[in-house]
Amino acid sequence: MDVEVRAVSSRRDWGEFIELPYRLHATSAQWVPPIRLERRLFHSRRMNAYFKHAGAQEFLARTTTPPTRVVGRVSAQIDAGYDNEHGPGTGMFGFLELEDDIEVARALLDAARAWLAGHGRSHMIGPMDYTMNDECGVLIEGFEREPMIKQPWHPPYYARLMDEAGLEKAVDLYMWELEISDREKILPVIFELAEQARTKHGVRLRHLRRRDLARDVEGVFGDVYNTAWKRNWGFVPYSASDLKHYAEELQLVFDRNWFMAAEKDGETIGIAITVPDINQVLKVMNGRILPFGWCAFLFRRDQLIDRVRVGFLGVKPEYQHTGTAALFYVEHFDVATSRPQKWGEMGWILETNRAMNRGMEAMGGRIVKRYRVYESRF
């Protein structure tokens, strides 16, 4: 296929950029269409706090012979937050969507590399939309399962094209499935550690309140995340503007039952943000707010959502010996006894994070999805 890749520059380009996955995955039983308006706002340089410390360029690939059509898209981005943490030289690519054609894949990746090289980069990682805390990686296992909130879904040929285009594996990300209503699957040591956290170390849990959510996310969550996740591959700390934006996002999916903090001697030492899987509602909305999308979102959530995603669960390094993580685990199982959500997925978790992966095994979990982050040096 003969294609040309051009930078997104017009309203029409943006419309085609956003619309492409709806056409590519229209017949997929698994893919969950995002809300189109939300996608436009997410790419807005004014509305997305990411652009306070980062820059990006999106691209479209089109066929060159009439009638022309869009056959792929990609973004290239650089992040000052990543540079400050890891040093300069690395850029990212993301929002990868394309038809099953190696020439399209090569053309898109070449465009991303060229833009990054023009901004002084010689190393590219991705895909990430735009960060590791948004949708990231290419699905390499678990194609038959619907994605949960902030998880990408790809048909199998995406990973094949990345390999054929010469990208190399950087790291794999795991999603673990847990039947959180089934306590019998948990190894006894988890309950023992949770009890020690309470009695020996004086750790207590509190559930976050909606009215305090902005304060807790901008303060408590930011503090815990920026220390507990610091050693993770690709870590970028949340800035103040990032945290404010994140708190606003969480208001839409807030459920006090699943938002928790751990405290010891008045200090918050850990946090767990578990989100009811709003993708089950988005599938009914089919990418649109009107005419009836909001009705499903507002009035059918509890009827439709039977699963959760444990997105963030972390403890400050100096308190990781206290059993606080086990205390969070047990609380999740306790909450599930009275809530409609009886199972979920935890992650992503880096393949190199032995402690967390062992913890998932101890709770009877199993890996159900794997995502791969790729890299390229040039």
Q: Nearest 5°: CA angle at 101, between 127 and 129? A: 15
pTM to 2 decimal places: 0.94
Q: Report pLDDT digits (tens) over 195-241.
A: 999 999 999 999 999 999 999 999 889 999 999 999 899 999 999 99
Report whether pLDDT(293) > 70. no
Q: Can you give the pLDDT at residue 46? A: 95
What residue has token string 């909001």? 294
What are 374's two structure tokens? 């790729």
Q: What whole-number distance in Å separates Cα of residue 275 and Cα of residue 260? A: 11
Q: Mapping DSSP to helix (H, G, I), strand (E, B) and coil, where does residue 73 land?
A: strand
Q: Which domains does the chain have, with CATH numbers?
A: 3-174 (3.40.630.30), 180-341 (3.40.630.30)
For residues 345 and 175, the answer to whether their CB atoms sit within 8 Å is yes
Are 363 and 178 in contact by the 8 Å Cβ rule? The answer is: yes
pLDDT in tens, 350-375: 999 999 999 999 999 999 999 999 99
Summary mean pLDDT of the chain: 94
DSSP-assigned letters across all residues of 105-144 = HHHHHHHHHHHHHHTT--EEEE-EESSTTSEESEEEE-TT
Angle subtended by helix axes 324-336 and 354-362, to nearest 10: 40
- Measured in degrees and rounded to the nearest 5, phi and psi for residue 75 equal -120, 160
In the chain, the percentage of residues whose pLDDT exceeds 90 is 88
Q: Assess contact for 54 and 3: CB atoms under 8 A.
A: no
